[in-house]
């Protein structure tokens, strides 16, 4: 029996397979939506950021991550892993960058975020106010203290403290001094001869600016400048932003802005130059006992061969940060203890993120035509800091002083370099020589 034409059309409307329609995408289940946070983000080339997708309307909250419509992304626009960790390309692409999360529940519903890339990691904002200085009998010249509220994109807001001392003569420059580790202690009391450095610089005519990455000179928050999540490179924005505030509010115009920092403080100087564009801010820097995490992948994965120690070329030294340092000074920057886990297991699961977070990531700025960079290491330092610091020192392509003069060793100095008198004297001597 023949089927009337109208019924045939109706049949094709309800039966799958009529008219070759089997290749079309199935309709999206009602009520599924996907949101990506943040909806837009500005970041430096080569840096990384953790995007988050929220799926509603279904019990299946899994998503597939894409960059410019390509699952997992590509080198030209950046890559993204299954958890939403995006690593930007080393160069700014010609077109826009869109991060997309597609709901696995239907393969159709999606949310997106726009990424803007800049040549250097963006600085944050800072606002300072005067506070009461701590009592200190070892500093011969009184000072002014500040609490500086720091806000950097992608990490929690943070308060740093500054103790500023001004010489009795017309200042010839300003020197930031940062201790090691998480940087929550003042320079003068973090080292046996730290006050010698401060007083020596004051007597030489420099404004001294001691940093403390805690709340009003306390160790709150306990993690100091490394408090995350966000990753080591991103939390270093706090120091770079603070340095810009010091330049704008403390350093008189037309005088040199310089810095020294030990170990973790040396790492902060490294990030300021390699990723935050502050080569034009600092006239001279002296990283001491570091930078200990020039290659974070080497420091955490602990699978690289030992290297000749720059102070004892006939001796080999490790590139591994060690478990204690990983737990105290690297893990707090992340949502999970990924560095200490890698130290234990030599896992390479987070290699891409570690490399992105390194001072010596592939796109790092290594030419400093306006800055003298002088490294100082201790002859008794048995940590990885000297060899890791030398990786950065040897990678520098241009600076104000010849590379052959760019480092020195203090024979009797341990890792806390200003714990010996001649180490403290060498820091002052170097700054007076090059900071002008």
Mean pLDDT for each 10-residue chunk of the chain (436 residues)?
40 36 44 96 98 97 97 97 98 97 96 98 97 75 89 96 94 97 92 96 96 80 88 98 97 90 98 97 97 97 97 97 97 98 98 98 97 98 97 96 91 98 98 96
Residue 17 included in any domain: no
Residues 309, 239: Cα–Cα separation, whole Å = 28
Task: Output the domain CATH number for residue 161.
Answer: 3.40.50.1820
Residue 21 included in any domain: no
Domain end residue (candidates: 100, 118, 136): 118
Same domain, yes or no: 66 and 187: no
Same domain, yes or no: 75 and 144: no
Strand 52-56 to strand 97-103: parallel, antiparallel, or no bridges (unpaired)?
unpaired
Residue 113 CB neighbour total at 10 angstroms: 22
Same domain, yes or no: 388 and 312: yes
Longest dimension (CA), the chain: 111
Residue 5 included in any domain: no
Residue 78 has a pLDDT of 98
Residue 71 included in any domain: yes
Residue 15 included in any domain: no
Domain end residue (candidates: 118, 147, 166): 118
Structure-token match 């805690």, residue found? 214
Same domain, yes or no: 63 and 152: no
User: Is the backbone of residue 103 left (phi > 0), alpha (psi -120 to 50) or beta?
Assistant: beta
Residue 18 has a pLDDT of 37
Task: Output the domain CATH number for residue 58.
Answer: 2.60.40.60
**3-class DSSP string for 235-295:** HCHHHHHHHHHHHHHCCCCCCEEEEEEECHHHHHHHHHHHCCCHHHCCCEEEEECCCCCCC
Same domain, yes or no: 147 and 217: yes
Residues 334, 343: Cα–Cα separation, whole Å = 15
Residues 302, 296: Cα–Cα separation, whole Å = 10
User: What kind and span of H or E run contains 402?
Assistant: none
Same domain, yes or no: 75 and 185: no
Residue 9 included in any domain: no
Please state the pTM of the whole predicted model: 0.91
Q: Is the dihedral of CA 344, 346, 349, 350 positive or negative?
A: positive
Residue 7 included in any domain: no
Q: Using an 8 Å Cβ cutoff, are 67 and 74 in contact?
A: yes
Q: Find, among 352, 358, 393, 394, the residue nearest to 373 by Cα.
A: 393
Cα three-residue angle 320-321-325, rounded to 5 degrees: 160
Same domain, yes or no: 198 and 239: yes
DSSP assignment of 132-200, as one string?
A: PPPP-TT-SS-EEEEEEEEE-TTS--EEEEEEEE--SSPP-EEEEEE-STT--S-HHHHSTTHHHHHHH
Same domain, yes or no: 183 and 84: no
Which tokens sit at 209?
């600016």
Residue 137 has a pLDDT of 66
Domain end residue (candidates: 101, 118, 135): 118
Cα three-residue angle 317-322-325, rounded to 5 degrees: 120
Residues 112, 177: Cα–Cα separation, whole Å = 43
Count the alpha carbons within 13 Å of 392 in the hemisphere toward its beta carbon.
Answer: 36
Residue 87 included in any domain: yes
3-state helix, strand, coil in the chain (%, to 5): 30, 25, 45
Same domain, yes or no: 285 and 159: yes
Range of the domain at 47: 33-118
Same domain, yes or no: 294 and 427: yes
Same domain, yes or no: 335 and 425: yes
Count the alpha carbons within 13 Å of 265 in the hemisphere toward its beta carbon.
Answer: 31
* Count of structural domains within the chain: 2
Same domain, yes or no: 143 and 284: yes
Residue 405 has a pLDDT of 85
């Amino acid at each position: 029996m023949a089927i009337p034409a109208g019924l045939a059309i109706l049949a094709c409307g309800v039966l799958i397979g009529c008219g070759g329609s089997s290749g079309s995408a199935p309709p999206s289940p009602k009520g599924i939506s996907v949101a990506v946070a943040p909806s837009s983000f500005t970041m430096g080339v080569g840096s990384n950021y953790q995007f988050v997708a929220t799926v509603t309307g279904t019990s299946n909250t899994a998503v597939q991550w894409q960059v410019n419509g390509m699952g997992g992304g590509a080198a030209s626009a950046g890559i993204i892993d299954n958890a939403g960790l995006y690593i930007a390309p080393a160069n700014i692409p010609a077109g826009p960058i869109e991060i997309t999360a597609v709901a696995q529940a239907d393969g159709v519903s999606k949310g997106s975020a726009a990424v803007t890339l800049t040549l250097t990691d963006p600085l944050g904002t800072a606002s300072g106010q005067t506070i009461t200085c701590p009592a200190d009998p070892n500093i011969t010249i009184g000072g002014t203290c500040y609490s500086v509220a720091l806000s950097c994109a992608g990490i929690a807001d943070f308060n740093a403290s500054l103790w500023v001392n001004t010489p009795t003569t017309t200042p010839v420059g300003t020197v930031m001094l940062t201790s090691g580790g998480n940087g929550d202690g003042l320079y003068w009391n973090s080292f046996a001869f730290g006050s010698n450095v401060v007083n020596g610089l004051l007597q030489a005519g420099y404004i001294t600016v001691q940093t403390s990455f805690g709340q009003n000179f306390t160790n709150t928050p306990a993690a100091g400048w490394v408090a995350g999540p966000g990753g080591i490179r991103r939390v270093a924005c706090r120091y770079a932003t603070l340095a810009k505030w010091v330049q704008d509010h403390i350093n008189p115009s037309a005088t040199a802005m310089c810095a020294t920092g030990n170990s973790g403080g040396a790492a902060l100087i490294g990030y300021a130059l390699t990723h935050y564009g502050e080569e034009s801010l600092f006239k001279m820097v002296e990283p001491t006992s570091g930078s200990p995490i020039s290659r974070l992948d080497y420091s955490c994965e602990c699978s690289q061969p030992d290297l000749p120690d720059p102070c004892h070329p006939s001796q080999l030294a490790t590139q591994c940060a060690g478990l204690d340092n990983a737990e105290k000074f690297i893990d707090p920057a992340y949502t999970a203890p990924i560095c200490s886990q890698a130290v234990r297991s030599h896992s390479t699961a987070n290699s891409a993120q570690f490399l992105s977070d390194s001072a010596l990531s592939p796109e790092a700025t290594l030419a400093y035509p306006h800055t003298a960079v002088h490294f100082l290491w201790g002859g008794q330092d048995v940590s990885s800091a000297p060899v890791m610091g030398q990786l950065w020192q040897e990678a520098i392509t241009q600076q104000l002083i010849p590379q052959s003069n760019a480092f020195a060793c203090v024979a009797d100095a341990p890792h806390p370099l200003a714990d010996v008198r001649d180490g403290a004297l060498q820091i002052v001597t170097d700054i007076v020589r090059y900071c002008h």
